[in-house]
A and B are shown apart, each in its own frame.
Chain A
Amino acid sequence: MSYRIEVTGLRKSFGTLTVLRDISLKVEPGQVVALIGPSGSGKSTLLRCLNLLVMPEGGQVRIGGDCFTFGGGSKMPGTKEQARFRSNTGMVFQHFNLFPHMTVVQNVMEGPVSVKGMPKREADAIARKLLAKVGLSDKVDVFPNKLSGGQKQRVAIARALAMEPEVMLFDEATSALDPELVGEVLGVMRDLAAEGMTMIIVTHEISFAREVADRVVFMRDGVIVEEGPAREVIDTPQQEATRTFLSHFHNRG
């Protein structure tokens, strides 16, 4: 059990469209994996299968000590089991998805209070600490609509961290941001990586992936085309498809 995340033979299709074909992926504790690839290649679907927001049709997903097998007559996990499984993975979405009817600190407290049944005072203290960590101590009591995109995404990261997940999943966390706000979010992610958080990051920030990720996985049409140490894959891609994809990014290195 030396891997924190272990995906084996994962399959998923929507109707007649096959989105994931036999995906296998292993991530060691503390490793950062950047998942890159053209739009529509199945990156989001793969992340969402990892926390069961999308139910895979076949294969196996193990995160920490929790393992689910799909398809082949194996029983689908019930809603309670699914919920418990999800609570162990933090997910950060492209469009933040903060709860607009709660203040910033309430957003961050929601998981611990409502899922773990933590007393409010304790959750409040944890939330404030996490908000300080992402640089938002002065925004604890405002509502999300008063925040910039970069601030919203940092709250979303704090909200996910409040559940103390074993892994963090980022789905294009900076794609919806104005260019000048990307840096502050990447900064928080870089700190998390340095602290040893296990992360899978779907991103189009190639230079960030090269610098922060241990490994890069390149996906196209539902298969992993190439994977390896971040610098190797990005600087000297072996596959033609990877080279073509990376040639669209000029800001390499």
Chain B
Amino acid sequence: MSYTWNFDIVWGYRWILLSGTAVTIGLTIAVIVFGLVAGLVAAIAQLSRSPVLRWMSWAYIEMFRLTPLLVLLLWFYYALPIVTGIKLDALTASIVTLTLYGGSFYAEIIRGGIVSIDSGQSEAGMALGMTPARVMRRIVLPQAIKRMIPPLMNQSIIQFKNTSLVSVLAVPDLLYQGQVAAMDTYRALEVYTIVAAIYVVVLLPLTVVVKRAEKRLAQSN
């Protein structure tokens, strides 16, 4: 009951923790950008007229949504080389896995946003003589994107936290560096408290932005 906190030892690890934070942020940005592209492609495939495309994207989305991320990470790192002979380094395997995993959630958000737009909107655009592609670009997407932004941001916040799992592949992210520091110093309590605090401090401003976006959207409808 009389644990004496000692943050001084941990202070010596500040640069390591900072570099871990940088890796985490960089990784998050990468998997958000790639994930949005994957999600957009899968969503458009879901809405396409081709049954084959629809089925393929459905299979992709459900497979990644329903498998635990940790299992996917281990599979892409350890199992993929056995199946295909392609050996990914830990960072690449992490980016690929998180991109596809996040993309499956983004796809559902994007698809949902598009189908939530009243069909009368497309009809009005078509009636003017616009092609379906132009209707999508000029009429449907601008309205749908507004509705997608808050859930996409929420999903991205989850992605930020998801990146902590890559530490199992020894990618030097914030949690991995925290583990190193904890092991060196035997100060698990201090180190992990600080690691948790860093995640919160980075995400706090983002959640405020999401709340604002949600409020603005509610008002504009």
List chain A residues, Cβ under 8 A from B132. 79
Of the stretches B22-30, B71-79, B116-124, the one at the interface is B116-124
Partner-contacting stretch, out of A12-20, A95-103, A222-230: A95-103
Residue of B nearest to A115 (CB): B129
In the assembled complex, which residues on chain B have CB atoms less than 8 Å from the CB atom of A80? 131
Assembly CA distance A23 to B22 (angstroms): 69
Q: Which residue of A lies closest to B137 (CB)?
A: A114
Chain B min CB distance to A104 (Å): 14
Find out whether the CB atom of A86 lies under 8 angstroms from the CB atom of B142.
no
Taking the complex as formed, is B139 at the interface, i.e. its CB lies under 8 A from any CB of chain A? yes
- Could you tell me the distance in whole angstroms from the C-beta of B218 to the nearest C-beta in chain A? 14
Q: Give residues of chain A (85-99) contacting chain B, Cβ–Cβ below 8 Å.
A: 86-91, 93, 95, 97-99
Report the bound CA distance from A51 to B131 in whole Å: 13
Q: Does B1 contact A (CB under 8 A)?
A: no
Report the minimum CB–CB distance from B172 to chain A (whole Å).
Answer: 44
Q: Does B66 contact A (CB under 8 A)?
A: no
CB-CB under 8 A from A83, the residues of chain B are: 126, 129-131
A contact patch SS: mixed
Provide the residues of chain B in CB contact with A100, threshold 8 Å: 143
A163 to B129, alpha carbons, bound, how many Å? 9
Chain A residue with Cβ nearest B128: A111
Which residues 133-182 in B have Cβ within 8 Å of A in the complex?
Answer: 134, 138-139, 142-143, 146
From known contacts A99-B139, A114-B138, infer whether A87 and B128 are also in contact, taking CB-CB under 8 Å.
yes
Asked whether any CB of chain B lies closer than 8 Å to the CB of A53, the reply is yes
Asked if B126 contacts A97 (CB within 8 A), the reply is no
Once the chains are docked, how many angstroms separate the CA of A98 from the CA of B125?
9
Q: List the A side residues contacting B134 at CB < 8 Å.
A: 114-115
In the bound assembly, the distance between CA atoms of A110 and B126 in angstroms comes to: 12
Instruction: Tell me whether A234 is interfacial, beta carbon within 8 Å.
Output: no
Chain B, residue nearest A80 (CB)? B131
Would you list which residues of chain A between 148 and 179 have a CB under 8 Å from chain B? 156, 159-160, 163
A202 to B173, CA, bound (A): 65
A93-B123, A97-B123, A101-B142 as given contacts; A110 in contact with B128, CB under 8 Å: yes
| Smallest beta-carbon distance B114→chain A, Å | 14
> Which of the listed residues B126, B129, B131 has the most CB atoms from chain A within 10 Å of its own CB?
B129
Max chain A C-beta neighbours (<10 A), residue from B123, B128, B138, B142: B128
Q: Is A84 an interface residue (CB 8 A)?
A: yes
State the B residues within 8 Å of A (CB). Answer: 118, 120-121, 123-132, 134, 138-139, 142-143, 146
Q: A residues near B, CB below 8 A?
A: 51, 53, 79-80, 83-84, 86-91, 93, 95, 97-101, 110-111, 114-115, 156, 159-160, 163
7 contacts between A and B (CB under 8 A): A86-B126, A86-B128, A87-B129, A97-B121, A111-B130, A114-B130, A115-B129
A sample of 5 more A-B contacts (CB under 8 A), given A97-B123, A99-B125, A160-B128, is: A86-B126, A90-B127, A99-B143, A100-B143, A110-B138
